[in-house]
């Protein structure tokens, strides 16, 4: 191997390493695993800049009908689909695109993100899973038979104060921050049924921690099904007039999300399926220094 070749190699290696090390780009995506019709998520992207100068450009978000390959931004009220950005040296910046999931639209949809800086374009895309909202034609509070069992579903924000865990009951349209831990408590009283089935769903902006936090306070009950958006439990031959469970959620994605009601199926009720009220939850992006 000649000395000339070795010198050339030593000169090229640092250039290759420099080219492979990106100084600007997308640090984090903050897009829900699924959304429901009626939700108002903010699709979030965190940009990073480790260079020694400002990184400026435009960022474009487009929603596409994946079957017809047609833009459907109008359906989703994507009014901020084109934005300018500046990321200072050694900084990170969040870019958010608030959209509204329509009730009348259920086609397979993808999002496409393009970041343009000069002649360069950075492209990202992914699926937007849309789940139907079955209560669009129903009042938030159901009209139940007075003889039916009573259902309550409450959501609390967990926080620590003076080294003690506290619970703050969340009201309608309450606001929490990404990273907050929420505790859900569900109770059914007045049932004399030998078989009770629970159907529980959570806001699309949250992620459940069932493995560590699911608790059946009154005993019994077995999990029939657990997916990324639904829990199904069953109690058989129970003589308890009160059933209670609790579990925890992590507020993960920013936006306004519907809180589905919990549903119970009981053999002794005058109605085949009874449910609690539904409401909504606002999750804002936590700002880090």
16 is a domain residue:
no
Instruction: Name the domain count of the chain.
Output: 2
Same domain, yes or no, for 174 and 278? yes
pLDDT at 7 over 60: no
Position 14 in a domain: no
pLDDT of res. 108: 92
pLDDT per residue as tens digits for the range 117-130: 988 899 999 999 99
How far is 197 from 195, CA to CA, in rounded Å?
7
Output the CA torsion 96→100→101→107 (10° steps). -80
pLDDT of residue 271: 66
In this structure, are 108 and 192 located in the same domain? no
Q: What is the pLDDT of residue 219?
A: 66
Residue 3 domain-assigned (yes or no) = no
32 and 77, same structural domain? yes
How far is Cα 263 from Cα 135, in angstroms, rounded to an integer?
A: 12
Q: What is the CATH number of the domain that holds 159?
A: 2.60.40.740
Q: Is 19 helix (H, G, I), strand (E, B) or coil?
A: helix
Is 75 part of any domain?
Answer: yes
More confident residue, 132 or 14: 132
Side-chain half-sphere of 111: how many Cα atoms within 13 Å?
A: 28
Per-residue model confidence (pLDDT) at position 226: 92
Reply yes or no on whether the pLDDT at 30 is more than 80: yes
Give the pLDDT confidence score for residue 18 in this predicted structure: 41
CATH number reported for the structural domain that contains residue 46 in this entry:
2.60.40.10
pLDDT at 163 over 70: yes
Which of 204, 199, 213 shows the shortest CA–CA distance to 251?
Answer: 204
The reported pLDDT for the residue numbered 1 is 52
Query: What is the pTM assigned to this prediction?
Result: 0.87
Per-residue pLDDT at 6 exceeds 80: no
What is the pLDDT, as a whole number, of residue 119? 84
Q: Of the candidates 131, 161, 195, which is a domain's last residue?
A: 131
Same domain, 159 and 230: yes
**Do 236 and 189 share a structural domain?**
yes
CA dist 225 and 260 (Å) reads 17
Q: How far apart are CA 187 and CA 191, in angstroms?
A: 11
Residue 193 has pLDDT above 60, yes or no: yes
Q: Using CA atoms, how far apart are residues 132 and 105, in angstroms rounded to an integer?
A: 9
Q: Are residues 176 and 54 part of one domain? A: no
Q: What are 93's strand-pairing partners?
A: 47
Per-residue pLDDT tens over the stretch 69-98: 999 999 999 999 999 999 999 999 999 999
Report the share of the chain in percent with pLDDT over 90: 61
Please indicate, yes or no, if residue 42 is contained in any of the structural domains: yes
Give the distance from CA 31 to its chain's centroid: 7
Neighbours of 64 (CB within 10 A): 19
Per-residue pLDDT tens for 216-242? 877 678 899 999 899 999 988 766 678
Residue 87 lies inside a defined structural domain of this protein: yes
Q: Determine the Cα–Cα distance for residues 9 and 231; give it in Å rounded to an integer.
A: 59
pLDDT of residue 254: 96
Q: Which of 62, 66, 55, 63 is nearest to 26 (CA)?
A: 55
| 106 and 176, same domain (yes or no) | no
pLDDT at 21: 64
Residue 166 belongs to a domain: yes
Same domain, 188 and 254: yes
Asked if pLDDT for residue 46 goes beyond 80, the answer is yes
In whole angstroms, give the CA distance from residue 175 to residue 177: 7
Is 2 within a domain? Answer: no
Residues 46 and 83 in one domain: yes
With a cut of 50, say whether residue 5 has pLDDT above it: no
Range 216-221 contact pairs with CB under 8 angstroms and sequence separation of 24 or more: 216/243, 216/244, 216/245, 217/244, 217/245, 217/246, 218/242, 218/243, 218/244, 221/245
Q: Each residue of 235-289: pLDDT tens digit?
A: 887 666 788 999 999 999 999 999 999 999 877 666 668 899 999 999 999 876 5
pLDDT at 19: 40
**Average pLDDT, stretch 199-213?**
93
Average pLDDT over residues 207-215: 89
Please check whether residues 162 and 198 belong to one and the same domain: yes
> 154 is in which domain, residue-wise?
150-284
């Amino acid at each position: 191997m000649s000395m000339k070749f070795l010198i050339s190699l030593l000169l090229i290696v640092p250039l290759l390493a420099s080219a492979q090390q990106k100084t600007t780009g997308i640090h984090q995506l903050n897009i829900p695993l699924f959304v429901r019709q009626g939700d108002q998520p903010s699709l979030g992207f965190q940009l990073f800049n480790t260079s020694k100068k400002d990184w400026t450009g435009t960022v474009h978000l487009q929603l596409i009908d994946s079957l017809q390959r047609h833009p459907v931004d109008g359906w989703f009220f994507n009014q901020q689909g084109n934005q300018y950005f500046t990321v200072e040296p050694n900084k990170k910046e969040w870019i958010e695109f608030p959209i509204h999931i329509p009730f009348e639209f259920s086609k397979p949809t993808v999002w496409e993100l393009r970041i343009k800086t000069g002649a360069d374009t950075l492209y990202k895309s992914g699926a937007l899973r849309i789940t139907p909202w079955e209560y669009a034609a129903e009042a938030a509070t159901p009209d139940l038979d007075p003889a039916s069992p009573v259902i309550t579903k409450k959501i609390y924000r967990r926080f620590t104060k003076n080294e003690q865990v506290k619970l703050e009951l969340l009201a309608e349209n309450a606001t929490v921050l990404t990273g907050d831990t929420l505790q859900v408590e569900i109770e059914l009283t007045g049932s004399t049924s030998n078989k009770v089935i629970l159907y529980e769903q959570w806001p699309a902006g949250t992620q459940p921690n069932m493995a560590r936090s699911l608790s059946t306070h009154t005993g019994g009950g077995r999990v029939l099904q657990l997916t990324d958006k639904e829990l199904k439990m069953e109690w058989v031959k129970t003589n308890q007039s009160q059933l209670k469970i609790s579990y925890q959620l992590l507020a993960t994605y920013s936006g306004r999300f519907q809180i589905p009601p919990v549903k119970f199926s009981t053999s002794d009720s005058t109605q085949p399926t009874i449910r609690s009220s539904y409401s909504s939850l606002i999750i804002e992006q936590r700002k880090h220094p």
